């Protein structure tokens, strides 16, 4: 039983793809009863859908969209492209992985993620899947007004899509982004399912190859099982020319989008597309293989943003959407609070110690300042220290101020010692002693005769007048004599 289940699992699909297992046709036919008319037994005796019938494919896709993606109604006009749902889901999941790589391992989700679907078509499949899987918002563009009307009808018939999918008409077929991306508008992704073929004949040949792979034999009357109009299936130059043009035009919106991407049907076109990306100067490019059944395709993605710019983009636009939402409960609300309170209490003593250390270190700075400053300044600083706002540590500062006081007194004593020295210089007692000594020396050295003494006595009045002059000179001499005495001291 397990071996059978393993063999039926579609392992080539993305791990998150909801369609890896076999279709539960019983459930699907209950959702879309008309699907039962397209179910038949294959050669192995298992129920299967007739994938060669476009109506059968449309009924199957409708059932898958209703079951897995929350739709209530879905339909498209006859003849329009109805692509297989599993492959489109794979594209969305792989692009989500690219965004995850720049979002620290978290898938960006929510309406803030803005995606541009180039060529949304009448089926509106990419926006439906992207919104259901990740809650993304979409802008869908197309050159066909009928296709846009169909896509709008799908949105209107499913109220939960309202406001999440916007549709815009591209007026110029030669343009991809211009006329769609508005000024200052930013997209996190662009996706595209381009026209694969270069002509109607090329499209017909492709359908014949597909039929041969499915049935194993040539079928001359091939019907396009997935439908598609001319604009959806072919374009001049085929997908290679279309994608190269898209790459060139994407460079004009290099900072408006984080990642550009497109499906590539033909492996032979990959090398040419990669060369075009290198020439245009992209910062990064990826080729992501995809497969479903016998069909193999790939995604080519590119960005003009450097790694740090992508991280900044993610932080700015995706960060809030990737935070895990936890429902409040007794376990996740009360326990963190207790932990926080306990931490705060444990840290309180350490904080008090730090405050004490800081203030204790401040005291030596005040001492140094006191030694350098004059006495009046020291007294002011001591006063300022006492005026510090009262805290628990101010008591420890008081003894510091008291220690400073003796230093200040010692400083003040220095000028008092110098003051007496200055007063001794101007002492009149010393001047008198010096005058007396001078007079004695003069009397000893000068051999004055009695006659001269008599003359001096007769000329007393004159000598009396001159005496004051001699005294003045003597005082000056005494001052000069006093100077060397101080130097000797």
| pLDDT tens-digit series, residues 324-380 | 444 444 444 344 343 343 443 344 444 433 433 334 344 444 444 334 444 443 344
Residue-level pLDDT at 413: 44
pLDDT of 390 over the 50 cut: no
* Phi, psi for residue 293 in degrees, rounded to 5: 65, -130
Residue-level pLDDT at 320: 63
Strand partners, 301: 261, 286
Residue-level pLDDT at 155: 98
Q: How confident is the model at residue 276 (pLDDT cuts 50, 70, 90)?
A: very high
Q: Which of the residue ranges 6-10, 291-295, 373-377, 400-404 has the most confident prediction, judged by mean pLDDT? A: 291-295
Residue 232, SS3?
Answer: helix
Residue-level pLDDT at 346: 41
Regarding predicted confidence, which is higher, 32 or 1?
A: 32
Residue-level pLDDT at 293: 76
Residue-level pLDDT at 7: 54
pLDDT of 139 over the 60 cut: yes
Residue 292, SS3?
Answer: strand
pLDDT of 453 over the 60 cut: no
Residue-level pLDDT at 427: 59
Question: 263 and 63 in contact (C-beta within 8 Å)?
Answer: no
Q: How confident is the model at residue 447 (pLDDT cuts 50, 70, 90)?
A: very low
- 300-308 average pLDDT score: 97
DSSP string, 418-440: HHHHHHHHT-HHHHHHHHHHHHH
Domain ranges of the chain: 2-318, 358-425, 427-445+471-482
pLDDT of 45 over the 50 cut: yes
pLDDT of 436 over the 90 cut: no
pLDDT of 418 over the 60 cut: no
Greatest Cα-to-Cα distance within the chain, rounded to the nearest angstrom: 175
Homologous superfamily of 2-318: Vaccinia Virus protein VP39 (3.40.50.150)
Residue 187, SS3?
Answer: strand
| Closest by Cα among 184, 194, 68 to 129 | 68
Q: What tens digit of pLDDT does each residue of 313-326 get?
A: 999 999 864 444 44
Provide the percentage of residues in the chain whose pLDDT is more than 70.
Answer: 56
DSSP 459: T
Residue-level pLDDT at 454: 41
pLDDT of 88 over the 70 cut: yes
Residue-level pLDDT at 201: 62
Q: What tens digit of pLDDT does each residue of 54-76 get?
A: 899 999 999 999 999 999 999 99
Q: What tens digit of pLDDT does each residue of 194-246 get?
A: 987 565 666 556 555 555 555 554 454 545 544 555 554 556 778 999 999 99
pLDDT of 401 over the 80 cut: no
Residue-level pLDDT at 209: 57
Question: 203 and 245 in contact (C-beta within 8 Å)?
Answer: no
- 43-49 average pLDDT score: 89
For residue 110, count other CB atoms closer than 10 A to its CB: 13
- 73-87 average pLDDT score: 92
- 415-420 average pLDDT score: 46
Residue-level pLDDT at 79: 87
Residue 369, SS3?
Answer: helix
DSSP 306: -
pLDDT of 298 over the 70 cut: yes
Regarding predicted confidence, which is higher, 483 or 94?
A: 94
Regarding predicted confidence, which is higher, 383 or 155?
A: 155
Q: How confident is the model at residue 51 (pLDDT cuts 50, 70, 90)?
A: confident
Question: 393 and 359 in contact (C-beta within 8 Å)?
Answer: yes
Regarding predicted confidence, which is higher, 236 or 12?
A: 12
- Provide the mean pLDDT of the chain: 73
Contacts 24+ apart (CB under 8 A), 360-363: 360/396, 363/397, 363/400
Residue-level pLDDT at 474: 47
Q: How confident is the model at residue 437 (pLDDT cuts 50, 70, 90)?
A: low
* CB-based contacts of 268, cutoff 8 Å, min separation 6: none
DSSP 140: E
Q: How confident is the model at residue 449 (pLDDT cuts 50, 70, 90)?
A: very low
Residue-level pLDDT at 335: 40
pLDDT of 486 over the 80 cut: no
């Amino acid at each position: 039983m397990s071996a059978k289940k393993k063999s039926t699992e579609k392992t080539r699909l993305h791990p998150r793809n909801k369609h890896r297992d076999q279709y539960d046709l019983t459930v699907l036919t209950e959702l879309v009863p008309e699907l039962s008319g397209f179910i038949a037994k294959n050669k192995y005796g298992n129920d299967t859908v007739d994938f060669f019938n476009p109506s059968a494919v449309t009924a199957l896709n409708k059932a898958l969209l209703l079951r897995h993606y929350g739709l209530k109604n879905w339909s498209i006009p006859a003849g329009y492209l109805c692509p297989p749902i599993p492959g489109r889901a794979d594209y969305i999941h792989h692009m989500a992985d690219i965004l995850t790589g720049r979002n620290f391992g978290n898938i960006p989700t929510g309406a803030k993620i803005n995606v541009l679907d180039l060529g949304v078509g009448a089926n509106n499949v990419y926006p439906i899947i992207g919104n259901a899987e990740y809650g993304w918002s979409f802008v869908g563009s197309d050159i066909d007004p009928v296709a846009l009307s169909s896509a709008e009808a799908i949105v209107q018939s499913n109220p939960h899509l309202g406001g999440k999918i916007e549709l815009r008409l591209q007026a110029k077929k030669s343009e991809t982004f211009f006329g769609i991306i508005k000024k200052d508008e930013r997209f996190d992704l662009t996706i595209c399912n381009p026209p694969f073929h270069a002509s109607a004949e090329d499209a017909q040949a492709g359908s014949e190859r597909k039929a041969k792979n499915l049935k194993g034999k040539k079928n001359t009357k091939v019907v396009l099982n997935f439908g598609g109009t001319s604009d959806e299936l072919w374009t001049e130059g085929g997908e290679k020319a279309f994608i190269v043009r898209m790459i060139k035009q994407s460079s004009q919106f290099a900072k408006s989008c984080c990642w550009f991407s497109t499906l590539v049907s033909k492996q032979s076109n990959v090398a040419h597309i990669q060369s075009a990306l290198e020439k245009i100067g992209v910062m990064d490019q990826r080729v992501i293989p995809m497969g479903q059944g016998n069909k193999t395709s790939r995604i080519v993605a590119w960005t003009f943003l450097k790694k740090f710019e992508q991280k900044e983009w993610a932080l700015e636009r995706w960060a809030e959407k990737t935070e895990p939402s936890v429902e409040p409960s007794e376990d996740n609300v009360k326990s963190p609070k207790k932990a926080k309170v306990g931490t705060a209490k444990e840290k309180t003593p350490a904080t008090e110690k730090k405050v004490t250390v800081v203030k204790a270190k401040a005291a030596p700075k005040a001492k140094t300042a006191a030694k350098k400053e004059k006495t009046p300044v020291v007294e002011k600083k001591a006063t300022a220290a006492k005026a510090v706002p009262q805290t628990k540590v101010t008591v420890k500062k008081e003894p510091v101020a008291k220690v400073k006081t003796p230093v200040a007194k010692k400083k003040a004593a220095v000028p008092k010692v110098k003051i007496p020295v200055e007063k001794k210089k101007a002492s009149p007692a010393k001047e008198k002693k010096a005058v007396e000594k001078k007079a004695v020396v003069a009397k000893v050295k000068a051999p004055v005769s009695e006659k001269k003494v008599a003359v001096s006595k007769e000329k007393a009045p004159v000598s009396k007048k001159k005496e004051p002059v001699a005294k003045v000179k003597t005082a000056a001499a005494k001052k000069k004599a006093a100077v060397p005495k101080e130097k000797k001291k």
